Amino acid sequence: MQQTGSALFRSLLAAAALCAASVGANAQQKFVNVLTGGQAGVYYPLGVALSQIYSKAMPDAKVQVQATKASVENLNLLQAGRGEIAFTLGDSLSDAWKGVEDAGFKTPLKKLRTVAGIYSNYIQIVASADSGIKTLADLKGKRISVGAPRSGTELNARAILKAAGLTYQDFAKVEYLPFGESVELMKNRQLDVTLQSAGLGVASIRDLATSIRIVVVPIPADVVAKVGDPAYQPGTIPANTYTNQADTVPTAAIKNFLVTHDGVPADTVYTMTKALFDNLDQLIAAHAAAKAIVKADAAKDVPVPLHPGAERYYREAGLLK
């Protein structure tokens, strides 16, 4: 039996309404891509924990974790709208906001917004005991890995080595490798030393210290001061952070941040910020570096403006006037 014209029209209207409703539902789907770092670092396990927290806090969102080359790549991805929240070092964040080309930022990344200041990275220069390296001066003529090219770690390496009066030309060999690969080369005696900017107790150095005898090379406070960047502060690696590391070692510390971009809705960022601080125990369970995350300090001394969603959370928490 044929449909009448009016019946056909009504069925077409119903189909169109159903299609529009489907499109509307898809348009409301939230995507949260958590940009981290290499899997042997600290950003990645914390990012995995964060994704689990966000999946519970935002059940209507599709949350995923992306392993990256860390700070510099993360910030460029955020600027391009290819992530919603990312880990970064403070000096990289400052360089991105200014558009420092040598640091990997061709133009100022003005879409970036701060979510929270979190724990500090420590610049950890770790040599094999067999290399004879005990001081920064001993690095000359040795084989070193300085992190992935133009990663936050590699930018830290440039700054610290320059402050110590060294350039890459002073080394017998310079490798630009992620943490895990650097450690494997050291185990195989193809490298003498690795420089890693990470939270204390990073898995890669723990692995190395249980495989070979290591020396953690001191970075004296006067060398840290010569960097000339307020993001670099004196810090210490406590004794026994790694196997057979009997002494406390002076080094440089740089604060990490969680950042987003101005295209992420304020309500989403508010929820992400609140969920972060409501579930710190889950982050600490993922990595001990998260013990240093302090809510009262999270909105202090930020290199780029706070996202309005994060600002709302801190105001409600009484941390901003």
> What is the reported pLDDT for 30?
87
Please list the alpha-helical segments (H only) found in 58-145.
71-79, 90-98
Closest CA to 88 of 126, 34, 149: 34
> What is the reported pLDDT for 7?
56
> What is the reported pLDDT for 21?
40
> What is the reported pLDDT for 321?
85
Closest CA to 157 of 110, 108, 207, 193: 193
Under-50 pLDDT residues of the chain: 1-4, 9, 12, 15-27
- C-alpha 272/C-alpha 266 separation (Å) is 10
Give the chain's domains with CATH numbers: 30-120+255-316 (3.40.190.10), 121-254 (3.40.190.10)
**Buried/exposed code over 184-206 (b: 16+ C-beta within 10 A; e: otherwise):** bbbeeeebbbbbbbbbbbbbbbe
Count of all residues that appear for the chain in the document: 321
Q: Which residues contact residue 268 at a Cβ distance below 8 angstroms, ignoring those fewer than 6 apart? A: 30, 32, 58, 61, 84, 309
- C-alpha 230/C-alpha 12 separation (Å) is 65
Closest CA to 127 of 214, 212, 202, 200: 214
The SS3 assignment for 179 reads: helix
> What is the reported pLDDT for 16?
47
Q: What token pair was written down for 273?
A: 């910020």
CA atoms within 13 A on the CB side of 141: 6
Judge whether 43 and 67 are in contact, CB under 8 Å. Answer: no
Q: The whole model's pTM is what?
A: 0.85
CA atoms within 13 A on the CB side of 250: 12
The SS3 assignment for 301 reads: coil
Judge whether 292 and 121 are in contact, CB under 8 Å. Answer: no
Q: Which residues contact residue 266 at a Cβ distance below 8 angstroms, ignoring those fewer than 6 apart? A: 307, 308, 309, 312
> What is the reported pLDDT for 265?
97
